[in-house]
Amino acid sequence: MYWNQDLETIDRPALERLQLSRLRAALERSVRAPFYRTFFETHRVDIDTITTLEHLRDLPFTTKADLRTSYPDGMMAVPRRDVVRLHASSGTTGKSTVIFYTQKDISEWADLIARSMVATGATPDDVFQNMMGYGLFTGGLGLHYGAERLGCLVIPSSSGNSLKQLQLMQDFQATIMHITPSYALHLVEIIKENGVDPHDLTVKKAYLGAEPYTEATRKKLEELWGMDAYNSYGLSEMNGPGVSFECVHKNGMHVWEDFYIIEIIDPDTGAVLPDGAEGELVLTHVNREAMPMFRYRTRDLTRIIPEPCPCGRTHRRIERIKGRTDDMFIIGGVNIFPSQIEAVLMAIPEVGNNYQIVLERDGSLDKVHVKVELYSKMFHGDMKELQTLRKKITEIVRSTIIVNPVIELMEPGSLPPSQGKAVRVIDNREQR
Amino acid sequence: MPHQVSVFAENKPGKIERITKVLSANGVNIRAITISDSGDYGIIKLLLDRPAEGCELLAKEGIAATLKDIVAVKMKDAPGGLHGIASILSANSINVEDAYGFMVKSHEDAVFVFQVTSPQKAEKILKDEGLTILTDKELYFL
């Protein structure tokens, strides 16, 4: 079953011709954005010389930092009156990264979601309960529009309020839910506590996203709920969800290559790797009007599955994301970069050069422990002073990352040094 | 004025061993030791015969160590010995931040060592009340 059979089963040469013509158009549009004019100039790129897909490699990479420096609208490539929506990434403090959409962008995004849902066997008869957050986050609204496009009855229940979720699920006989893996684990327990056997519910499918999770957790959720769970990958920079999705075979996620050009690179050298090799996923959005993005470094590690999928779709699959090339971590839904913590720690005179972040799971709660070395010269042998210092560091770090940290004062020299490959983040949380 | 060496230490096995190894290798004698602990870290206080040297040796090892002024006052190793000192300090509203005592000669002499905000003032008050304040040399080589 396909949403758009011609495009989903298009032969590779035709797909590549489509990619190239769309890429050309995107490059020409992009120079209307101040960011890209400067970007191409600085890197001495003449976009007219990009006449084949291989030439894409002549373009420099774009990164999250480019999104920050172009904030608020340096990457907007259409007049503002043509922009109908913005979304912003789940950041902490400081500048968030903002993505713009025209009416056409929103419509095409919905189409990609509808295509993804059909690939999992969804039909207009399905009742879709969307338990992702609505708002600046792309997860809620992205799937919402796509499920409507497909023709499902959409329950925009958003996240939280478990008893209400259960009631909606029962009263309107939800068949598909969109949910984070951690909430799915939590909700199934609430349902059982309320005397309901999850297997008696009408839910038959779940789209899991927004958090890393393992294959074991998928299996566990499928058993607990009595359903099929599908892996989904997307990022706000590339619209949000709907970049890639598993089909009924549940063996890797099809990347919709008529919209996205995939490259896998060596994260250290930037060299493009052959299909099948593991590396960093780099994506180019060839169709977005409001905000083109070329060779965006996702920092996510995966590999392309070169073999064709039995479903008949010619769009290649990527494997479940294995990790990240930077050390970003997620605590309670908040993306945190160690560099944010480092910046504030290094401004505290009593703190030495080294620090370490240890993530622990305490029941269902994640805790951030920050180990900091005391700077010898700032030690005056006073216990009260140390306690005050610890409180001060806790407050400073909390105001930066929003999450309440546990600060541990360490002896000088007890942590691995900053130079070389210091392990900054140790994740002791068991993968769900 | 006498000094003691205060050392910052994580509350973990092997921490005292690391300190005593340095001191012992350099022939520095420990006259007294106390540890105040605050959960996952603490401060080890050492009364050494050569405090400045000891402190420097520890610092060279990368250990956070610092010299602190202390007041050492002689007292009788008998009931009421400490009470006399405590009464004087209390009458003068001097708050003892950290203290320990040790015996020098059984049933004869003992020493009360403490930290205060203004040690000079405390020394003077005790001296004026007729008590014996130990100088650094006297204390280190008791």
Domain with A387 in it: 330-427
Q: Which pLDDT score is estimated for A37?
A: 96
Q: Which residues of B make CB contacts under 8 Å with A? A: 6, 8-10, 15, 36, 38, 40-43, 45, 59, 62-66, 68, 98
Quote the DSSP letter at residue B13: T
Nearest to A131 by CA among A158, A155, A154: A158
- pLDDT tens digits along A28-72: 999 999 999 999 999 999 999 999 999 999 999 999 889 989 999
Last residue of a domain, one of A270, A302, A326: A326
Q: Which pLDDT score is estimated for A417?
A: 64
In this prediction, residues B34-63 reach a mean pLDDT of 92
Cα B119 versus chain centre, distance: 12
- pLDDT tens digits along A328-368: 888 877 778 787 888 788 788 888 877 889 999 877 678 89
| Contacts with A48 (C-beta within 8 Å, 6 or more apart), sequence order | none
| Contacts with B31 (C-beta within 8 Å, 6 or more apart), sequence order | B47, B48, B49, B102, B139, B140, B142
Per the document, the length of chain A is 432
Is B41 close to A386, i.e. CB distance below 8 A?
yes
Quote the crossing angle between the two packed helices A162-171 and A181-193, to the nearest 10°: 80
pLDDT at A218 over 70: yes
Nearest to B38 among A379, A380, A387 (CB): A387
In this prediction, residues B72-88 reach a mean pLDDT of 92
Q: How confident is the model at residue B97 (pLDDT cuts 50, 70, 90)?
A: confident
Which of A353, A376, A408, A415 would you mutate first to test chain B, the one with the most B CBs within 10 A?
A376
The answer to whether position A411 is within a domain reads yes
Domain count, chain A: 2
| Contacts with A140 (C-beta within 8 Å, 6 or more apart), sequence order | A130, A132, A133, A134, A156, A158
Question: What is the identity of the amino acid at A374?
Answer: L
- Would you call B3 helix, strand, or coil by DSSP? strand
Last residue of a domain, one of A326, A360, A383: A326
List the CATH number of the domain containing A374.
3.30.300.30
Cα–Cα distance, A368 to A324 (Å, whole number): 19
- pLDDT tens digits along A269-318: 999 999 999 999 999 999 999 999 999 999 999 999 999 999 999 999 99
Is B41 close to A409, i.e. CB distance below 8 A?
yes
A230 contacts A245 by C-beta, under 8 angstroms: yes
> Cis omega before residue A72 (within 30°)?
yes
Is A386 close to B63, i.e. CB distance below 8 A?
no
Last residue of a domain, one of A271, A297, A326: A326
Q: In what order do the strands lie in the sheet with B65-69?
A: B30-37, B41-48, B3-10, B65-69
Q: How confident is the model at residue A421 (pLDDT cuts 50, 70, 90)?
A: very low
pLDDT at B85 over 70: yes
- pLDDT tens digits along A103-135: 999 999 999 999 999 999 999 999 999 999 898
Cα–Cα distance, B68 to A367 (Å, whole number): 37
| Contacts with A274 (C-beta within 8 Å, 6 or more apart), sequence order | none
Is B43 close to A383, i.e. CB distance below 8 A?
yes
Q: Which pLDDT score is estimated for A90?
A: 54
Residues on chain B touching A411 (C-beta within 8 angstroms): 8-10, 15, 63-64
Q: What domains are defined for chain B?
A: 3-69 (3.30.2130.10), 71-140 (3.30.70.260)
pLDDT at A325 over 90: no
Using a pLDDT cut of 90, give the percent of chain A over it.
71
Lowest mean pLDDT among A18-27, A191-200, A379-388: A379-388
pLDDT at A370 over 90: yes
| Contacts with A369 (C-beta within 8 Å, 6 or more apart), sequence order | A357, A358, A359, A360, A405, A406, A407, A408
Choice between A290 and B137, residue whose per-residue pLDDT is larger? A290
Pair A321, A337 in one domain: no
Token pair listed for A49: 């010389």
The answer to whether position A432 is within a domain reads no
Question: What is the identity of the amino acid at A432?
Answer: R
Q: Which pLDDT score is estimated for A200?
A: 97
Is B8 close to A387, i.e. CB distance below 8 A?
no
Pair A373, A248 in one domain: no
Pair A163, A221 in one domain: yes
pLDDT at A423 over 70: no
Strands (E), A272-403: 278-285, 293-305, 317-318, 323-324, 329-331, 334-336, 351-362, 365-374
Q: What is the ipTM of this complex?
A: 0.83
